Structure 1
Amino acid sequence: MGNFQKLSLALVGLIMGGSLVACDDGRAGAQDAAKQLASAVAALDVGSIAFEGTDAAAANERLKEVFQGLGPAKPAVEAGELTFDKDTATVPLNYSWKVGSGEWKYTASAELKKSGDKWLTVWKPALLAPELADGEVLAAATQSPQRADILGAGDAKLVTYRPVVDVGIDKPKLGAADPAASAAKLAQLVGVDPAAYTQQVQAAGPEAFVTAITLRQDGRTITDEQIARIPGARSIAGVLPLAPSRTFARALLGTAAEANAEQIEKSGGALKAGDTTGTGGLQQQYDAQLRGTDGIQVFAEKAGLTAEEKQALPNEGRRTLFQVGMEPGTPVKTTLDPRLQQLAEDVLADVGPASAIVALRPSSGAVLAAASGPGSNGYNTAMLGQYAPGSTFKVVDSLAMIRNGMTPDSKVECTPTLTVDGRTFKNAEGYPEGSLGSVTLRDAFAHSCNTAFIAARDSVSQAQLESAATSLGVAVEAPGLGADAFLGSVPGEAAGTEHAASMIGQGKVLLSPLAAAVMAGSVAKGSPVSPTLVLNTDAGSGTAAPEGSGTPTAAGTSPSLSSTAPAPAKAAEKPVTAAEAAALADMMRAVVTSGHAGFLASVPGEPVGAKTGTAEFGNENPPKTHAWIVAVHGDLAVAVFVEEGGLGATTSGPLLKEFLTSAG
């Protein structure tokens, strides 16, 4: 490049540089000031912003006062396109607030003025919200809908608002009385821990009402007179979404109460103090659907109004700036029959160990009762329990054997004992001598001959067992259930003693009482039953039952439970046929007419078919056993389970008889 060219380029650069400097009219500085203002307002801290007309500290205090009523939310704020005129500029500030379930968007205008080489923001309340005047602040009012009901069959109200009383110490009413003494007396009266409640009362502020217990109004034995005798104690009437009784289907339905701090924190803004929310069961699973959405109103109002003034003149000096309408919750509709659910719970009321009764309607799959006894300690044993099903699983064995060419009249060998790979299997205690030897499959099934079924292991593969189980709806997804459940697990591979154990419902074979009822129901229906419980799983936006609601759920800490079972199949590999089901029904009827469930012969109405089961578990000698019985009675299939229950026929059998007789 020649010297002349270099000189020319240098001149061009100088001219261009000069023109750029000449064009810098201050717009860039104004834009920077606008961006800083937007960021500071979004952070609710304008202490670093230079203002005209006020100092930054006063502006900051005013901003916090204006926005305090919307806390703890913060706005997103962006500076828009600047309008520039020499030493002044205006900039739109685009605000976006998350208000409840809605988004409040608006644009306010800020003015900037150049002072020397610095851009100042002109202080006006209107830069925070449209037309906001001096002496006005923003406030929000929330209107919460009542929680929707949980309904049962025929839209019976299972959970609905019922009258309650909050019993506690009202600290302003204590007068000169000792708070600790009153708290201890009240705790003793209502049956709560005196030390913990006394501490709670002492820690609360002087204006607090500290609840000791919430009692159902209906049937309460502690009277207002008893409460009033304790200085500072009183009861406050209210309502809560409750089931008919404290225990009614509690493990399945869950509970609803005022949200605690942890629930509010985890909700991501969906819950606030005072909201009612669900814990456990359907109340938690369908919480958003049942809760509905709050109605919210944001308005500008005169600063410094007292609560009394706001109440007396609710719309005085108020301008509504934004509102979201309240949307009531949608009831959760279930198939539970309140009479049968209560009956099942009454039958289990005196059973010590964990227990369950599940009843369903084979024709529709509707779950009519899913009761977990008091020994389950609040766990949903009925639907989530994972237990070896014992000889009830011979229904599955028999289907596999029928598919291999046998009939109920085919002969099998029932020996007193049978040894497989060094492990000796025997029949249950009290097995009748007359049903040993060469007997029909029906007779072996009716008296539950373990050795006859284990002897069939060479002709019935583990894969055939798995297939027969899915044919009867076991270990198959239940897309219409709408609730967490364990639907059974039958491994497709097992050898030696494990395969032999599978033939009598042990080894790694696991069922829940729900899955056992499905198995029996599929025999009655003549095709696989797919259980249904929640009828409107998609009624609330985003509140449908979680995908794979039929997948296994960890079932507590009992050593007899497993949380490692494989996921259920999508569908039955080879659905049971009407002819196959008829043969199984014939054998289940024989359990009542000639086997060891003869006590069911007197149940009125249609003939009962059944199968008992006793499943050993643990390492004790003799081992502990789970007691099972499944039955079909017209369009009703029932499973009864008692953990550590002895023999199925003698423990679960009488419970089943009581249930079927009263079910009608």
Structure 2
Amino acid sequence: MRVSRGIAALAVALPLLAACGEAEEPGPSMSTLTTALESGTFTKVDFVAKTDADAVAADYSDLTGNLFGKLGAPDVSATKPTFTGEGTDSAKSTLTWAWGLPGGRWTYESEVELRKTGEKWEFVWEPTVVAPALAEGRSLHVETVHQQRGEIRSTSGATLVADRPVVTVGIDKTLIDPVAAPAAARDVAAIVGINPKRYAKRVKAAGDKAFVEALSIRKPMMTKAKAAEIAKIKGAAMLNRTLPLGPTKEFASPVVGIVGEVTAEMMKKKPGTYLPGDLAGLSGLQARYDGQLRGKPGLQVAVLGDEGEVLKKLYSTDPIDGKPLAVTLDARLQKSAEKILKRVEPESALVAIRPSDGAVLVAANGADNKMNLATFGQAAPGSTFKAATTLAMLRKGLSPKSQVKCPAKATIDGKTFKNDSWYPQSGLGEITLAHAVAESCNTAMVGAADEIGHAEIASAAASLGFGIDRDAGFASYFGQIPEPAGETEHAADLIGQGKVLASPLVMASVIGSIQAGHTVVPNLVEGQVAKPSGVEPLAAAEADQLRTIFRGVVTDGTGRGLADVPGKPVIAKTGTAEFDRNGKRLTHTWMIAAQGDLAVAVYVDEGENGASTSGPLVEAFLRMANER
């Protein structure tokens, strides 16, 4: 049977109370009661009159409202029963309740009455047992008072990521038969463009009263036609809310990250920090600096009436707003870079830094990237790594005008190295080091393998900011040049193949270091600059020679496409790195360039070569950057 609120005669057997005015210890029966209140299950409580324990549990569930779902189970303890009135057939015990909250606990007391019937003591059930303020038709309800999440701003103070209006589309399982919910979920998924099978699975697994989010859509992008389609689906719901978003959908998304409802894994990892439904950073900077950005939500526990109206507030805490995070991104340059990459079909990335102080101005990823390639990608840099090889050769006493040999082929320990198919015949033979770099002669570089050891190439790379791992305060990869397995691999390292790996971030640092004349340490988050130690400084004379050599790439070499870019002189280097994928020989393409106080690296996962694939993207970016 269904137990109504205010039931007065639900009983549990208790030990006889002492005749001296104070009952005996609560004993097993009182602990059984408190255990039942903590679990919400009363099947082990010894009720008399064959009262339905399931009905008691249902009544208790109504009285506690959403507290179990939001706060978890309470801790309940009981005092020894004491006699009440003149006789010895009634007693009472004080219950102490403690509900866990993020960063604290909400505690209060209530009373339970005991009555003697025959030789047994019975537990009297009333709504006030759960909380003194409860009465017939009332229930407890906890509500989060949302705080203002901190904005992500540029170091100049401009707002980059802030709360913006969205329409959250999902399935409200209270509006549909649970059996029909998965089919409705697939229909919704098809409209908003997410995986129907996965979304239907999530909806099926959710509770019968859950709202399962499909996707949050920026309000300006929610067309009337799309809203009308969604509205026709039974069980579908659209909620107006705000979420921390950048000025565009793509804006540095993999780097900045996203904000969403906390996951079960997050709640388990940080117990007592979150409540179900709380918003938190799930990836990128939003996750890394969630403690700063998130602040702390407030809570309000209230007594609700029959119509859900608030009758009395029992407990409340004020929200604490999050603090802003300052980053070096330039909104104009970032959006322009992302616009440029939109026309690139393969995965791609563009990073731009300010060489004078290492500020990361752009960290753009292609629209179809599966991961954050801009700052955390790992691919062979090809001939762009010749910047490090050239520095190592300068440190061996060569100069831009020194003569080096550039044969059509070079054999190292049985492995034959060749120049790229487009390498000009006029560039073969004895040529200057500057000419070898300008036309990107592979054989000239691998020919230096006997003179330049692994330690020397690694040291030269480090002077340009390459290969020095550190925590920069954001997801970043600074490249690797591990000890080679043999002479062939060492030779391959000198042309950016072998086991050398780089990210666009670190390659922008390499050309930026040449432009600035010192080792550039890229930084994105204000106050988070981790300078590497033990790195041989880039000498002023070395930087001058490198700028001369890499200016020649633009005036007389593979970077000729940048020769007419307006503004200050441009230095650059192209790169192509072969790799195998699904049985096919393909090429990564690169170009790094610097102009004035701007250094840029562009990477395309699959292309023809650095000059023809990545070069036009660099040119477009530099031309756009010059427009003010």
Does TM, normalized by the shorter one, top 0.5?
A: yes
Deviations 1:471-523 (A, max 9, x none): 222222343x3221222111134421100100111000000111111111222
Q: Which has the higher mean CA deviation after the structures are superposed, 577-586 or 36-45?
A: 36-45
Tell me which residue corresponds to 1:601. 563
- Kept in 2, the 8 Å contact 1:30–1:119? The answer is no
Which of 412, 421, 430 is 1:429 aligned to?
421
- The residue type paired with residue 604 of structure 1 is P
Please give the residue correspondences for 1:147-296 in structure 2 after superposition, counting only pairs within 5 Å: 147-165=149-167, 215-218=217-220, 222-223=224-225, 238-257=241-260, 275-287=278-290, 289-296=292-299
Report the residue type matching 1:588 in the other structure. Answer: F
Match of 1:458, SS state, is coil
**2:457 matches 1:465:** yes
Q: 1:69 to 1:424 in 2, by over 3 A?
A: closer
Q: Secondary structure at 2:603's aligned position in 1?
A: strand
How far apart are 1:460 and its partner, in Å? Answer: 1.1
- Tell me how large the CA RMSD over aligned residues is: 4.9
**How far off is 1:395 after superposition?**
1.1
Equivalent residue in structure 1 for 2:433, among 429, 434, 441: 441
Shift of the 25–402 alpha-carbon distance from structure 1 to 2, 3 Å rule, reads farther
Give the conservation status (yes or no) of the 8 Å contact 2:101–2:272.
no
| CA–CA distance in structure 1, aligned partners of residues 535 and 275 of structure 2 | 48
**TM-aligned CA deviation for residue 529 of structure 1:** 1.9
1:204 CA drift (Å): 12
CA apart distance, 1:352:
1.9
Q: Describe the superposition over 1:536-556 as per-residue Cα deviations: whole angstroms up to 9, x where unpaired.
A: 77xxxxxxxxxxx99xxxxxx
Deviation at 1:240, TM superposition (A): 3.9
Deviation at 1:342, TM superposition (A): 1.5
Alpha carbons of 1:34 and 1:380: their partners in 2 closer, same or farther (altered >3 Å)?
same
Instruction: Tell me the equivalent position of 1:411.
Output: 403
Task: Give, in whole Å, the separation in 2 of the partners of 1:209 and 1:135.
Answer: 26
Tell me what 2:622 maps to: 660
Q: Write the deviation string for residues 373-401 of structure 1: whole angstroms up to 9, x where unpaired.
A: 2342x421212221111111111112222
Q: Which moved more, 1:213-222 or 1:457-466?
A: 213-222
Partner amino acid, structure 2, of 1:425: F
Alignment of 1:319-468 (within 5 A): 320-376=313-369, 378-468=370-460
Corresponding position of 1:559: none
What is the DSSP-based 3-state SS (H/G/I as helix, E as strand, rest coil) of the residue aligned with 2:620? helix
Question: Over residues 344-373 of structure 1, what are the superposed CA-to-partner deviations in whole Å (9 max), with x where a residue is unaligned?
Answer: 122222222211111011222211111122
Tell me if the contact between 2:74 and 2:98 (Cα under 8 Å) persists in the aligned partners: yes
In 1, Cα distance between the equivalents of 2:96 and 2:187?
58
Q: Distance in 1 between matches of 2:428 and 2:601?
A: 28
Cα deviation code 1:185-222 (max 9, x no counterpart):
99988778999999999999999999987654436665
Distance between the aligned counterparts of 2:425 and 2:401, measured in 1?
A: 19
Given that 1:462 and 1:494 are in contact with CA atoms closer than 8 Å, whether structure 2 keeps it comes out as no
Shift of 1:145: 2.8
Q: Which residue number in structure 2 is paired with residue 510 of structure 1? A: 501
Higher mean C-alpha deviation, range 626-635 or range 286-295? 286-295
The partner residue of 1:524 within 515, 532, 537 is: 515
Closer, same or farther in 2 for the Cα pair 1:322/1:585, shift >3 Å? Answer: same
Query: 1:274: Cα distance to partner?
Result: 5.3
**SS of residue matched to 1:154:** coil
Worse-superposed segment, 49-58 or 367-376: 49-58
Supply the AA of the counterpart residue of 1:413: K
Deviation (angstroms), 1:468: 2.1
Looking at structure 2, the residues matched to 169 and 195 of structure 1 have their Cα atoms a distance apart, in angstroms, of 14
* More deviation, 419-428/517-526: 517-526
Name 1:71's counterpart in structure 2.
Answer: 68
The corresponding residue for 1:543 is none
CA change 1:83–1:462 in 2 (3 A) is farther
Q: For residues 413 and 200 of structure 2, what CA distance do their matches in structure 1 show? A: 64
**Cα-to-partner distance string for 1:315-370 (whole Å, 9 max, x where unaligned):** x3x1x332222122333332111111111122222222211111011222211111
Structure 1 residue aligned with 2:6: none
What 5-or-longer segments of structure 1 have no aligned partner? 1-23, 538-548, 551-568
Structure 1 residue 425 displacement after superposition? 0.6
Aligned-partner SS, 1:395: helix
Residue 574 to residue 25, structure 1, CA distance change in 2 (3 Å):
farther
Q: How has the CA–CA distance of structure 1 residues 54 and 99 changed in structure 2, closer, same or farther, with 3 Å as cutoff?
A: farther
| CA deviation string 1:258-277 (max 9, x = no partner) | 66888888886766665545
Alpha carbons of structure 1 residues 214 and 646: separation in structure 2 relative to 1, 3 Å: same
Distance 1:580 1:130, change over 3 A: farther
Q: Which residue of 2 aligns with 1:630?
A: 592
Greater displacement, 95-104 / 423-432? 95-104
Over residues 82-120 of structure 1, what are the superposed CA-to-partner deviations in whole Å (9 max), with x where a residue is unaligned? Answer: 989998997665433113453223455667789999777
Q: Which moved more, 1:292-301 or 1:158-167?
A: 158-167
Per the alignment, in what secondary structure is the counterpart of residue 508 of structure 2?
helix
Shift of the 610–283 alpha-carbon distance from structure 1 to 2, 3 Å rule, reads: same
Q: Distance in 1 between matches of 2:196 and 2:94?
A: 60
Cα distance in 2 for residues equivalent to 1:209 and 1:132: 28
Unaligned runs of at least 5 residues, structure 2: 1-19
Q: Which amino acid aligns with 1:144?
A: H
Q: Helix, strand or coil: the match of 1:428?
A: coil
Give the letter for the 1:395 counterpart: A
Normalised by the length of structure 2, the TM-score is: 0.78
**Corresponding residue number in structure 2 for 1:306:** 307
Paired AA for residue 497 in structure 2? Q
Secondary structure of 2:448's partner? helix
After TM superposition, give the deviation of residue 630 of structure 1 in Å. Answer: 0.8
The separation in 2 between residues aligned to 1:229 and 1:140, in whole angstroms, is 30
Question: Do structure 1's residue 475 and structure 2's residue 467 form an aligned pair?
Answer: yes
**Equivalent position of 1:11 in the other structure:** none
Which residue does the alignment assign to 2:38? 42
Question: Aligned AA for 2:347?
Answer: A
Label 1:110 to 1:366 Cα distance change in 2 as closer, same or farther (>3 A): same
DSSP 3-state at the match of 1:456 = coil
The aligned runs of 1:540-559 (5 Å cut-off) are: none
Q: Quick one: distance in 2 between partners of 1:391 and 1:202?
A: 52
* Residues 188, 230 of structure 2: 8 Å contact kept: no
Distance 1:334 1:68, change over 3 A: same
Query: How far off is 1:127 after superposition?
Result: 5.6
Identify the range of structure 1 (617-626 vs 242-251) with the bigger mean alpha-carbon deviation. Answer: 617-626
The separation in 1 between residues aligned to 2:27 and 2:184, in whole angstroms, is: 65
Secondary structure of 1:155's counterpart equals coil
- Alpha-carbon distance in structure 2 between the residues aligned to 1:113 and 1:230: 57
Answering whether residue 620 of structure 2 is matched by residue 650 of structure 1, we say no
What is the rounded CA distance, in whole Å, between the counterparts of 1:80 and 1:53 in structure 2? 26
